[in-house]
């Protein structure tokens, strides 16, 4: 169990960093999908596997919906982004990781004594990295990915506190609706962007 939760925590740190640092939708949506795998593993520590697998399915559905919308809209990759901005976001992410390692034990002791430290660390890591991402982007699809990560972090912690079918059902609706809003935003931006042929013609 300990090994599984530690592994899930490492996956969360790496995927959250990947979402924060890179702006390529392929990397972001892939990392989001992997992140939900780790979320599932952590939620399964508190909930029955049958219920916690809902988190995985919903997360993958959300990731797939966003990825397919980006693919359909031919969303341009941002590989031309300067290395300075990558390094900056990477450093901010590292700072956040250090901060969470420092704060999590106190938070666990004062607020969530019933939860394992790894669960608190994982949840706060997702929440913290998502908040940093929200603060450093004005892109609609990255905002949605950050909010999905934020909710995933909350779900990791809350699953350890309460088991409720209605809550799980409502969280499914919220996550899927958020992903649909993301699809809507991506399609709005896509309608504005010139088609590849037109771009070539120009």
The size of the chain, in residues, is: 202
Can you tell me the distance from the alpha carbon of 64 to that of 122, in angstroms, rounded to the nearest whole number?
A: 23
Residues near other proteins (CB under 8 A), total: 35
- List the interface residues with other proteins, window 142-181 (CB under 8 A): 143, 146-147, 150-151, 154, 157-158, 161-162, 164-167, 169-171, 173-174, 177-178, 180-181
**What residues from 121 to 140 belong to the interface with other proteins (CB under 8 A)?**
127, 131, 134, 138, 140
80 vs 165, beta carbon nearer other proteins: 165
Write out the DSSP string of 30-44: HHHHHHHHHHHHHHT
Q: Does 116 bind other proteins (CB under 8 A)?
A: no
Q: Does 185 bind other proteins (CB under 8 A)?
A: yes
Is residue 201 at the binding interface for other proteins, with CB under 8 A as the rule? Answer: no
Cα separations (Å) of 114 from 35, 57, 118, 146, 157?
Answer: 24, 27, 12, 27, 11
Residue 124 has, within 13 A of its CA and on its CB side, a CA count of: 22
Give the single-character DSSP code of 146: H
Type and span of the H or E element at 18: helix 2-21
**Residues binding other proteins (CB under 8 A):** 110-111, 127, 131, 134, 138, 140, 143, 146-147, 150-151, 154, 157-158, 161-162, 164-167, 169-171, 173-174, 177-178, 180-181, 184-185, 188-189, 192
């Amino acid at each position: 169990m300990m090994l599984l939760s530690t592994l899930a925590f490492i996956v969360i740190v790496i995927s959250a960093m990947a979402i924060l640092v890179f702006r390529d939708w392929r990397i972001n949506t892939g990392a989001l999908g992997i992140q939900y795998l780790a979320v599932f593993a952590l939620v399964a520590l508190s909930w029955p596997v049958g219920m916690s697998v809902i988190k995985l399915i919903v997360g993958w559905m959300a990731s797939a919906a966003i990825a397919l919308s980006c693919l359909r809209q031919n969303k341009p990759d941002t590989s031309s982004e300067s290395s300075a901005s990558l390094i900056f976001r990477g450093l901010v992410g590292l700072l956040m990781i250090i901060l969470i390692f420092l704060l999590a034990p106190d938070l666990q002791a004062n607020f969530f004594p019933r939860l394992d430290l790894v669960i608190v660390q994982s949840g706060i890591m997702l929440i913290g990295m998502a908040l940093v991402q929200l603060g450093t982007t004005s892109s609609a699809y990255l905002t949605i990915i950050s909010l999905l990560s934020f909710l995933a972090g909350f779900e990791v912690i809350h699953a350890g506190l309460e088991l409720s079918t209605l809550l799980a059902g409502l969280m499914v609706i919220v996550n899927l609706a958020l992903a649909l809003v993301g699809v809507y935003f991506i399609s709005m931006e896509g309608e504005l962007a010139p088609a590849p042929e037109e771009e070539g013609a120009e």
